[in-house]
Amino acid sequence: MALVYKFLLLCFLLIFVPPAIAQTSFRPRALVLPVQKNAAVFQYVTQIKQRTPLVPVKLAVHLGGNLLWVDCEKGYVSSTNKTARCGSAQCNLIGPVACGGGICGEFPSNPISNTGTFGSIRIDVVSVQSTNGRHPGRGVTVPNFIFLCGSEFVLQGLAPGVTGIAALGRTKTALPLQLAAAFSLNRKFAICLSPSARSNGVIIIGDGPYVLLPNVDVSKSLTYTPLLINQVNTEGGFLGTPSNEYFIGVKSIKVGGKAIPLNTTLLSIDSEGIGGTKFSTAVPYTVLETSIYKALLQAFVNAMPTKVTRVAPVAPFGACFNSRDIGSSRLGPSVPQIDLVLQNSKVFWSIIGANSIVRVSNDVSCLGFVDGGVTPKTSIVIGGHQLDNNLVQFDIATSRLGFSNSLLLQRTMCSNFNFTST
């Protein structure tokens, strides 16, 4: 009897497969995007395919933002373009929006030039490659991807060929969660940025593994810290909406193993959203509030081997050294390690020479951090140079950040993802 019931239940389940799964026989486990540094303008550029017929679209990577946007004023042609009406499901998914003539809209913001203007919400086809975490697999398509149509001038300051921004913020409509929802992937993504302008780093949406040549699965060796939510969107956006960016709780900073004196009030996020630590691909070097910057610079200079001579600083840096006095190893210049200490003294993000030093010329090497002034919105903004060759996983579902520390320590790097499809 029970067996008959089980059989009937099985038949029932087979008939009533949810339509989203039934539509496609191939379900990817993760998606992969290439990302390349434009060294001239210090931006990270990724590429997706969009529209009908599909065309490649280059986008600047932004670890924040609510919607992917592209320039629709020039060269946007697609037979599948649709406009989102106010009150439509797509428009409602975005959260607070503006409405003009029944058309759902938003303000695309360019975090690099801080420009923005009203744009309409559109829906069109997007295509990306799937992955098993080792290679790219077949291309997969989302027919109804929600994005924002920006006008040409919002492109100001973006790398040549770039026609929009890939918003990787925490929200449902930003690129990671919109793609994750379309394929029922886990709500997480990882970025691994390469400092090289000639080879691709990688963004993987969904679960790991994250395998880099020679066969290093970086997902196995991540360290975790909670992701914090800043209740105030200091980037702009609608009043009362939380930030779309990724904050972590740095508790102290060590240089050469010794804690530097800091005003710890600056390290937490206050009720107005001021303070704390976040990630940004829009800044080339980590930006520190003045007192933190000065303390780090002083400690770093003091901890340098005495044979290293200081030379006149080269803007935007404040402490520079004679390159020839600094030894070098597999891990980059041999300098004191900087640790960002997180939830306890055993959990820290370490910054080795390859990520702390910027070689300005054959003669001059500088501490690659910059002064953010006395009243920045966020006290510590971890920027591109410090992210290079570190794999960072943003697990939105569990509000947790996973980080690898420098991959050079594991004898691999972000450009070692094998982009050759099987």
Ligand X SMILES: *[C@@H]1O[C@H](CO)[C@@H](O)[C@H](O)[C@H]1NC(C)=O
Q: Which residues bind to ligand X, rule: CB under 6 A?
A: 76-79, 81, 135, 213, 263, 265-266, 418, 420, 422
Residue with Cβ nearer ligand X (231 or 329): 231
Query: Is the distance from CB of 253 to CB of 278 less than 8 angstroms?
Result: no
Query: Is the distance from CB of 46 to CB of 195 less than 8 angstroms?
Result: no
Q: Cβ of 140: how many Cβ atoms within 10 Å?
A: 18
CA distance 169 to 394: 10
CA distance 84 to 140: 23
Q: Shortest approach of ligand X to residue 199 CB, angstroms? A: 13
Q: Which residue do the tokens 């970086």 mark?
A: 218
Residue with Cβ nearer ligand X (204 or 320): 204
Q: Shortest approach of ligand X to residue 62 CB, angstroms? A: 25
Q: Shortest approach of ligand X to residue 320 CB, angstroms? A: 28
How distant, in Å, are the alpha carbons of 201, 327, 366, 388 from that of 353?
20, 10, 11, 12
Residue with Cβ nearer ligand X (48 or 308): 48
Q: Shortest approach of ligand X to residue 103 CB, angstroms? A: 14
Residue with Cβ nearer ligand X (410 or 418): 418
Residue with Cβ nearer ligand X (78 or 322): 78
Residue with Cβ nearer ligand X (72 or 354): 72
**CA-wise closest residue to 355 among 345, 340, 341:** 340
Residue with Cβ nearer ligand X (112 or 146): 146
Strand 55-62, strand 162-167: pairing: parallel
Q: What are phi and psi of 50, to 5 degrees?
A: -145, 160
Q: Shortest approach of ligand X to residue 72 CB, angstroms? A: 7
Query: Is the distance from CB of 67 to CB of 146 less than 8 angstroms?
Result: yes
The answer to whether the Cα torsion of 81, 175, 208, 129 is positive or negative is positive
Q: Shortest approach of ligand X to residue 268 CB, angstroms? A: 10
Task: Give the distance from CA 39 to its chain's centroid.
Answer: 17
Q: Shortest approach of ligand X to residue 418 CB, angstroms? A: 4
Q: Shortest approach of ligand X to residue 189 CB, angstroms? A: 22
Query: Is the distance from CB of 268 to CB of 343 less than 8 angstroms?
Result: no
Residue with Cβ nearer ligand X (78 or 113): 78
346's CB contacts (< 8 A; 6+ apart) are none
Q: Is 134 exposed, middle or buried (0-12, 13-18, 19+ CB in 10 A)?
A: middle
